[in-house]
Amino acid sequence: MELERHTALDVRRLPGLVPYAEAWEMQRELVRLRKKGLAPDTFLMLEHPPVYTVGRAARDAANLGAGEEYLRSLGAEVFWSDRGGDATFHGPGQIVGYPILRLKVLDTHGYLRDLEEVLIRVLGDYGIEAGRKPDYTGVWVGGAKIAAIGVKFSSGRITSHGFALNVTTDLAWFDRITPCGIREFGVTSLARELGEEVALPEVEERIVARFREIFG
């Protein structure tokens, strides 16, 4: 996927746990600036505190398990988002990537496949054979989803939202919902697949390297 360059890619690793509403507002502002040519292509990487988000593909709250009130009682926030996709979980130990890019050509399918390819190559760096599953967006290891993808395309061919890669995520949070509306498959993490903990900064470095490789 080719990008329409303003300056070199600005990679920002945000410290701590960034509330979802704060990151969402940051994306909106970056999209506004990118449309006007006042900001470069930007790649945000961060962790969220526990939060369930629901994308535009959800028609109702059916995939939120026992409901929003129950999920909030567990200590998580709930947000209805303008990204693609259905319900998912974000939390500590998960690397969330939000690329704010101006694409040279608006190829929505191609962009999603490129995001998947970035993560497939990162997982390959750890010796994990990951891939795609027909009819579903995201990255899979066997029958379990290890990375969810949900994006938004704004006027001017600007992207926002992005991917969430489970690294050391507490996967029990996913048990309370139907992740991405998919009942027949489970979720996994890099740590589960390797059988050991992985340092997030190390994985972030690999993501940046593979992202530059795919997007040029």
Which entry of 87, 103, 146, 180 is annotated as an active-site residue? 180
Q: Which tokens hold the place of 162? A: 């992005």
Instruction: Judge whether 24 counts as a catalytic residue.
Output: no
Beta bridge partners of 17: 47
One DSSP character per residue, 60-108 reads SSGGGTT-HHHHHHTT-EEEE-SSSS-EEEE-TTEEEEEEE-BBSS--H
**CA 22 to CA 175: how far, in whole Å?**
26
In 3D space, the residue among 75, 208, 85 whose CA is nearest the CA of residue 145 turns out to be 85
Catalytic residue positions?
180
